[in-house]
């Protein structure tokens, strides 16, 4: 059963939809630490997260989920460990339009390995409407080769229901009895 206060981490490469996902599901106005992009990120978007994003999801009167989004750029990787402390699970978002989203998957699995040793993982694949491959099954097969079987979903990070599906899958992996 989730405790009264829970912390879920959203991670992934620049442009995967972390900030957008948190904004879509948060019950409060999200806190954002965006700054103007000044490097190759500028090719993908005008602003980027430099510290973290924060939102809150109130499950019921006594139980809430704190949503923390990490910066996607590797140069801010020092924030990944800081933000991950106390996390009960990881939502890894991958942008299917990036040059090598499978490499991104491998990179972020390794980068968040300390958290994943103790917490479940859910993967959301964004922008599949723009680039169909790799598909969900391809990601699932690759993860199985790594000995991992996390839930993998196609998501539109702008849609509350899609992000809710990711969060619920993560909570169900923590406590399968929640479905009842």
User: What is the separation of C-alpha 151 from the centre of its chain, rounded to a whole number of angstroms?
Assistant: 12
Distance CA 130, CA 149 (A): 25
pTM of the model: 0.87
- Residue 46 is predicted with a pLDDT of 54
Domains of the chain, first to last? 5-175 (3.40.50.300)
- Please report the pLDDT score of residue 48 as a whole number: 57
pLDDT of residue 180: 47
**How many CB atoms are closer than 10 A to CB 32?**
18
Question: Residue 130's pLDDT is what?
Answer: 95
Residues 6+ apart with CB under 8 A from 16: 72, 93, 94, 95, 98, 126, 157
Q: What is residue 9's predicted lDDT score, i.e. its pLDDT?
A: 97
Average pLDDT for runs of 10 along the chain of length 180: 75 94 94 61 54 86 90 84 93 97 96 96 97 96 95 98 96 77
């Amino acid at each position: 059963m989730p405790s009264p206060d829970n912390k879920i981490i959203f991670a992934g490469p620049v442009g995967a939809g972390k900030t957008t996902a948190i904004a879509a599901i948060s019950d409060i106005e999200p806190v954002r630490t965006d700054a103007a992009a000044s490097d190759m990120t500028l090719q993908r978007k005008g602003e980027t997260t430099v510290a973290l994003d924060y939102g809150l999801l109130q499950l019921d009167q006594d139980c809430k989920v704190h949503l923390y989004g990490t910066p996607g750029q590797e140069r801010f990787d020092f924030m990944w460990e800081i933000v991950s402390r106390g996390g009960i699970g990881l939502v890894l978002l991958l942008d299917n339009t990036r040059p090598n989203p499978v490499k991104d998957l491998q990179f972020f699995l390794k980068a968040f390995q300390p958290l994943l040793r103790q917490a479940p993982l859910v993967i959301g694949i964004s922008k599949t409407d723009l680039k169909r491959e790799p598909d969900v099954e391809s990601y699932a097969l690759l993860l199985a080769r790594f000995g991992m079987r996390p839930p993998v979903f196609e998501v539109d990070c702008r849609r509350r229901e899609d992000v809710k599906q990711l969060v619920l899958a993560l909570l169900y992996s923590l406590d399968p009895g929640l479905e009842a």
